[in-house]
C-alpha cells in the first residue's frame, strides 16, 4: 500500500512538472511607456507559440525611471535583452560602445523597404544601423472639436491649414465668462509643467515659422537656430495667443484632459489622443487635420526604436523577436493595444475604416514634410532647460507688442542653448 501511494505521488508530481511550461531562455523587455506593456505581452505570448523554449518578461515603469534604470544596467551587463528608448539616450549608449551594431540579418531586414528612408536614416549612425524603428513617437496633428466649430459658425470640414487661420478660428471658439475670463480655450497650448515636452510642443510652431532650436554648422557641429526673426515670430505667436487674443489661459484645463472634457476646441498632439478619446469620451465629435503650416508645412515625426543589448545581440531568438515586434502581424496590434502608430509600412485600411481619425497618422498627405529631433546627446538637456525659460516667457505680459523685450528673451534662450552645446563639445560656428 505504502509503495503504491509513493508511486502515485511520484507520478502526480511528474505530471504536474510536465504540464508546466519549461522555458530554457528568457527575453527581458523593458519600456518607459506603460501603455506598450500589453503589446509586448501579446507579442511575447505569440512568439512563445512558435518558440516554446522562450519566455518573454516585460517590465514597464515611467519614462524617466526607466531611462535611469537602463543607463545604469546596460554598462554593467544587467539590463534587458530588448528595450525601446528615445534617440537622446540611444546615442549616449552608442557613443559609449554599449549598443551593438545591427547584425547583417537585421540590417537587411531594416533596409528591405518595410520602412521609409527617413526612418532608416534616423537609426543610421556613422554608417551603421542600430535597432529597429517600432513606432512613431511624435507625429503630431491638429485635433479639433467639430461640434464647437459648428457652434462658432466655422466649417467642420475645413480645419485651419496655417497658423494665422488657427488663431482666427481659436478666437471664434474661445468662450469667456461675464468678467472676461476664459472658460473654454479656443486653442490649448502647452504652457506649463516641467520637462522637455513643453519645448517639443513649442517646436511645432517654431519649426513651421522657419526656425529650429538647434541647426547644424558647416563643421558638423551645432548652434542655436532660434535667434532670428522666425524664432521671435514663434514666441510672439504664443504671447499673442495668451495675452493679446486670450484664446488660452494658464488657469483653464489643458492638453488632452481639456479636449476630452470639451473645455478646449483645438490642440496639437500625437495619435495616442485617439485612444484617450475613445476610452473617456467616445461620443466626442472631432476631427484630425495636418499640422498648420507657416513658412513650412512640416510635422514632427520621431521614430522610436527598439534595441538589443550586447548580450541580446548574441542570441538568434532575440533577433527573431525583434523582427516579430516590427512585423506586419504585430503592427495592427501595436495600435490596437497601445494607440501608437507603427513606424513600418502596413495595411492600415481596416483601422481607418473603423476609426477615421487615424487617417492622417497612417496615410499622411504626400506634400507634408517631416523633421525629427537632432540625434545628439545634449538635445534632451537643451529642450528641458529651454522649457523653463519658455514657461517664464509665456506668462510674461510685458512681452505683448514689445519687440525689444521679446528680442531679449529669445537671445537669452539662444545663449542658454549655445552654452549647453559648448559644454558638450557640440558647439560650432
DSSP 102: P
Between residues 56 and 93, which has the closer beta carbon with respect to other proteins? 93
Stretch that binds other proteins, among 46-54, 92-100, 150-158, 339-347 (CB under 8 A): 92-100
CB of 97 to other proteins, least distance (A): 7
Angle, helices 379-394 vs 403-423, to 10°: value is 160
Measured in whole angstroms, the distance separating CA 218 from the mean position of its chain's CA atoms is 29
- Give the SS3 label for residue 144: strand
Binding-site member from 9, 13, 25, 75 for other proteins (CB under 8 A):
75
Binding-site member from 9, 26, 68, 328 for other proteins (CB under 8 A):
68
71 part of the interface to other proteins, by CB under 8 A: yes
Cα–Cα dist 232/160, whole Å:
22
Per-residue binding letters, 187-226, with other proteins (x by CB under 8 A): ---x-xxxx-x-----------------------------
CB of 80 to other proteins, least distance (A): 16
CB of 388 to other proteins, least distance (A): 4
Question: Which of positions 405-424 make contact with other proteins (CB under 8 A)?
Answer: 416, 423
Per-residue binding letters, 235-264, with other proteins (x by CB under 8 A): ---------------xxxxxx-x-------
CB of 251 to other proteins, least distance (A): 4
* Residue 335: partners with Cβ closer than 8 Å, 6 or more residues away: 271, 341, 342, 351, 358
Q: Is the dihedral of CA 308, 312, 315, 321 positive or negative?
A: negative
Binding-site member from 53, 95, 229, 347 for other proteins (CB under 8 A):
95
Q: Helices in 138-296 by DSSP H: which ranges? A: 146-151, 163-173, 197-209, 229-239, 255-260, 272-280
Cα–Cα dist 280/274, whole Å:
10
54-60 and 25-31 strand pairing: parallel
Between residues 139 and 254, which has the closer beta carbon with respect to other proteins? 254
Binding-site member from 55, 389, 405, 407 for other proteins (CB under 8 A):
389
> Do the beta carbons of residue 23 and residue 54 sit within 8 Å?
yes
Between residues 257 and 349, which has the closer beta carbon with respect to other proteins? 257
CB of 201 to other proteins, least distance (A): 9
| Interface with other proteins: number of residues (CB under 8 A) | 37
| Beta-strand runs (E) in 32-153 | 54-60, 82-85, 124-125, 128-129, 132-136, 140-145
Between residues 95 and 347, which has the closer beta carbon with respect to other proteins? 95
Cα–Cα dist 93/196, whole Å:
20
User: Closest by alpha carbon to 268, among 224, 206, 226, 342?
Assistant: 206
Between residues 194 and 403, which has the closer beta carbon with respect to other proteins? 194
C-alpha cell at 385: 532647460
Between residues 389 and 407, which has the closer beta carbon with respect to other proteins? 389
Per-residue binding letters, 149-188, with other proteins (x by CB under 8 A): ----------------------------------------
Between residues 123 and 198, which has the closer beta carbon with respect to other proteins? 198
175-176 and 124-125 strand pairing: unpaired
- Give the SS3 label for residue 152: coil
34 part of the interface to other proteins, by CB under 8 A: no
> Do the beta carbons of residue 173 and residue 149 sit within 8 Å?
yes
Between residues 190 and 203, which has the closer beta carbon with respect to other proteins? 190
Question: Residue numbers of the site for other proteins (CB under 8 A)?
Answer: 64, 68, 71-72, 74-75, 92-93, 95-98, 190, 192-195, 197, 250-255, 257, 380-381, 384-385, 387-389, 391-392, 395, 416, 423
Amino acid at each position: 500500500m505504502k509503495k503504491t501511494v509513493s508511486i502515485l505521488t511520484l507520478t502526480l508530481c511528474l505530471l504536474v512538472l510536465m504540464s508546466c511550461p519549461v522555458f530554457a531562455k528568457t527575453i527581458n523587455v523593458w519600456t518607459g511607456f506603460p501603455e506598450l506593456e500589453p503589446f509586448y505581452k501579446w507579442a511575447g505570448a505569440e512568439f512563445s507559440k512558435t518558440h516554446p523554449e522562450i519566455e518573454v518578461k516585460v517590465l514597464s515603469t515611467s519614462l524617466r525611471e526607466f531611462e535611469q534604470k537602463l543607463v545604469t544596467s546596460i554598462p554593467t551587463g544587467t539590463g534587458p535583452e530588448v528595450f525601446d528608448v528615445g534617440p537622446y539616450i540611444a546615442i549616449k549608449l552608442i557613443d559609449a560602445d554599449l549598443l551593438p551594431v545591427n547584425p547583417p540579418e537585421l540590417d537587411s531586414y531594416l533596409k528591405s523597404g518595410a520602412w521609409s528612408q527617413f526612418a532608416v536614416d534616423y537609426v543610421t549612425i556613422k554608417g551603421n544601423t542600430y535597432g529597429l524603428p517600432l513606432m512613431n513617437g511624435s507625429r503630431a496633428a491638429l485635433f479639433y472639436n467639430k461640434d464647437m466649430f459648428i457652434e462658432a459658425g466655422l466649417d467642420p470640414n475645413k480645419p485651419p491649414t496655417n497658423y494665422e487661420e488657427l488663431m482666427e478660428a481659436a478666437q471664434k471658439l474661445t468662450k469667456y465668462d461675464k468678467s472676461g475670463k476664459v472658460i473654454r480655450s479656443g486653442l490649448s497650448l502647452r504652457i506649463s509643467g516641467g520637462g522637455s515636452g513643453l519645448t517639443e510642443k513649442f517646436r511645432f510652431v517654431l519649426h513651421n515659422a522657419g526656425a529650429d532650436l538647434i541647426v547644424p554648422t558647416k563643421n558638423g557641429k551645432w548652434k542655436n537656430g532660434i535667434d532670428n526673426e522666425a524664432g521671435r515670430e514663434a514666441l510672439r505667436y504664443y504671447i499673442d495667443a495668451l495675452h493679446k487674443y486670450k484664446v488660452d489661459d494658464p488657469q483653464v484645463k489643458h492638453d488632452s484632459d481639456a479636449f476630452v472634457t470639451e473645455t478646449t476646441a483645438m490642440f496639437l498632439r500625437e495619435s495616442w489622443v485617439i485612444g484617450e478619446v475613445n476610452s473617456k469620451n467616445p461620443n466626442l465629435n472631432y476631427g484630425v487635420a495636418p499640422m498648420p503650416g507657416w513658412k513650412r508645412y512640416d510635422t514632427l515625426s520621431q521614430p522610436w526604436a527598439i534595441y538589443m543589448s550586447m548580450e541580446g545581440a548574441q542570441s538568434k531568438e532575440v533577433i527573431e523577436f525583434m523582427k516579430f515586434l516590427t512585423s506586419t502581424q504585430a503592427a495592427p496590434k501595436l495600435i490596437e493595444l497601445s494607440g501608437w502608430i507603427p513606424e513600418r509600412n502596413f495595411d492600415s485600411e481596416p483601422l481607418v475604416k473603423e476609426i477615421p481619425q487615424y487617417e492622417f497618422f497612417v496615410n499622411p498627405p504626400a506634400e507634408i514634410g517631416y523633421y525629427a529631433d537632432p540625434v545628439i546627446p545634449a538635445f534632451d538637456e537643451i529642450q528641458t532647460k529651454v522649457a523653463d525659460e519658455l514657461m517664464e516667457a509665456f506668462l510674461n505680459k510685458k512681452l505683448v507688442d514689445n519687440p525689444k523685450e521679446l528680442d531679449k528673451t529669445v537671445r537669452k534662450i539662444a545663449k542658454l542653448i549655445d552654452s549647453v552645446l559648448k559644454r558638450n563639445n557640440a558647439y560650432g560656428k
